[in-house]
Amino acid sequence: MIVAKFGGTSVGAIAEIDRAARIVQSMHNEKPLVVLSAMARVTDGLLNAGEAALAGKARERDDILWEIRGRHDQVILELLKNRATAESVRQVLGAVWEEMQKVFTGVSLLREMSTRSRDLISSFGERLITPIFAAYLGELGLRAQDVDARQFIITSEESEFMLVDFDETRKRCQKLVKVAKSGVVPVITGFICSTPEGVTTTLGRGGSDYSASIIGSCIQASEIQIWTDVNGVMTADPRIVPEASVLERVSYKEAAEMSYFGAKVLHPKTIMPAADEKIPIRIKNSFAPDAPGTLITAETPVHLHGVKTVTSITALMMVSVEGRGMIGVPGVAGRVFTTTAQHKISVLMFSQGSSEQHISLVVSRNDGDDTVKALRREFSSEIERRRIDRVLGVSDIAIIALVGEGMKGLPGVAARAFGILGDAGVNILMIAQGSSELNLSFVVKQKDAPRAVQLLHHAFELDALRV
Ligand code: ADP
Ligand code: ASP
Ligand code: MG
pLDDT, tens only, 380-420: 988 998 888 999 999 999 999 999 999 988 888 999 999 99
User: What pLDDT, in 10s, does the model give residues 89-146?
Assistant: 999 999 999 999 999 999 999 999 999 999 999 999 999 999 999 999 999 999 999 9
Work out the average pLDDT over 9-18. Answer: 97
Nearest CA to ligand 1 atom 19: 237
* 62/65 Cα distance (integer angstroms): 5
DSSP tag of 125: H
Instruction: From residue 162, give the alpha-carbon distance in Å to each of 115, 127, 153.
Output: 12, 20, 12
Question: What is the average per-residue pLDDT within 176-200?
Answer: 96
Tell me the CA–centroid distance for residue 191 and ligand 2, in Å.
6
Q: Which residues line ligand 2 (CB under 6 A)?
A: 7-8, 37-38, 43, 125, 190-191, 205-208
Beta strands in 231-272 (DSSP E): 249-251
Query: Is the confidence at residue 465, as pLDDT, over 70?
Result: no
- Are 329 and 336 spatial neighbours (Cβ–Cβ below 8 Å)? no
The span from the CA of 142 to the CA of 299, in Å, is: 36
Q: Whose CA is nearest to atom 5 of ligand 2?
A: 206
**What's the pLDDT tens digit per position in 21-38?**
999 999 999 999 999 999
> Helix and strand tally (H, E) in the chain?
14, 16
Query: Does 327 have pLDDT greater than 70?
Result: yes
Separation between Cα atoms, residue 294 and residue 279, nearest integer Å: 14
Element (H, E) at 283: strand 281-285
Residue among 44, 446, 12, 461 at smallest CA distance from 227: 12
Mean pLDDT of the chain: 94
Nearest to 442 by CA among 201, 261, 220: 261
The verdict on the CB of residue 229 being under 6 Å from ligand 1 is yes
Contact 456, 400 (CB under 8 A): yes
Which residue is closest in CA terms to ligand 1's atom 9? 265
- What's the 53 CA to ligand 2 centre distance in angstroms? 21
**Can you give the pTM of this predicted structure?**
0.94
Pairwise CA distance, residues 339 & 336, whole Å: 5
Residue 326 has pLDDT above 60, yes or no: yes
45 Cβ closer than 6 Å to some ligand 1 atom: no
- Please list all protein residues whose beta carbon sits less than 5 angstroms from ligand 3, which is an ion: 7, 206
pLDDT band at 161 (very low <50, low <70, confident <90, very high): low
How many whole angstroms from 43 Cα to the centroid of ligand 2? 6
Choose the weakest-confidence range: 8-17, 158-167, 238-247, 288-297: 158-167
Q: Ligand 2 pocket: which of 11, 16, 43, 188 to mutate (most atoms <8 Å of CB)?
A: 43
DSSP, collapsed to helix, strand or coil, labels residue 119 as helix
Output the 3-class SS for 146-213: EECHHHCCEECCCCCCCCECHHHHHHHHHHHHHHHHCCEEEEEECCEEECCCCCEEECCCCCHHHHHH
List b or e across 403-432, with b for residues whose CB sees 16 or more CB atoms inside 10 angstroms: bbbbbeeeeebeebbeebbeeeebebbbeb
pLDDT at position 158 is 62
Our answer on whether the CB atom of 171 is closer than 6 Å to any ligand 1 atom is no
Q: Please tell me the predicted confidence (pLDDT) of residue 256.
A: 96
Amino acid at 413: V
DSSP three-state, residue 215: helix
Ligand 1 in reach of 7 Cβ (< 6 A): yes
pLDDT for 159 beyond 90? no
Percent of the chain with pLDDT over 90: 86
Ligand 2 atom nearest to CA at 44: 4
* Side-chain half-sphere exposure of 205, counting CA atoms within 13 A: 9
Ramachandran area for residue 315 (φ above 0: left; ψ -120 to 50: alpha; else beta):
left
In this structure, the strands spanning 184-189 and 32-36 are parallel
* Best CA proximity match to 320, nearest among 279, 349, 296, 346: 349
Question: At residue 172, does pLDDT exceed 90?
Answer: yes
Residue 277: Cβ-neighbour burial (10 angstroms; 0-12, 13-18, 19+): middle
Atom of ligand 1 nearest to the CA of 232: 25
34-71: per-residue pLDDT in tens? 999 999 999 999 999 999 999 999 999 999 999 999 99
Q: Is the Cβ–Cβ distance between 4 and 23 less than 8 Å?
A: yes
CA 57 to centroid of ligand 1, rounded, Å: 33
Shortest-distance atom of ligand 2 to CA 267:
8
Q: Is 309 in the pocket of ligand 1 (CB under 6 A)?
A: yes
Q: Which ligand is nearest to the CA of 225?
A: 1
| SS3 category, 278 | coil
408 — phi, psi (to 5°)?
-55, 120
In this structure, the strands spanning 281-285 and 223-228 are parallel
Residue 307 and residue 347: Cα distance in Å, rounded?
A: 24
Res 331: pLDDT: 83
Contact 202, 190 (CB under 8 A): no
Determine which helix (DSSP H) or strand (DSSP E) holds 320, and give its type and residue range: strand 309-322
**Ligand 1 pocket, 325 CB below 6 A?**
no
**Residue 356: what pLDDT?**
63
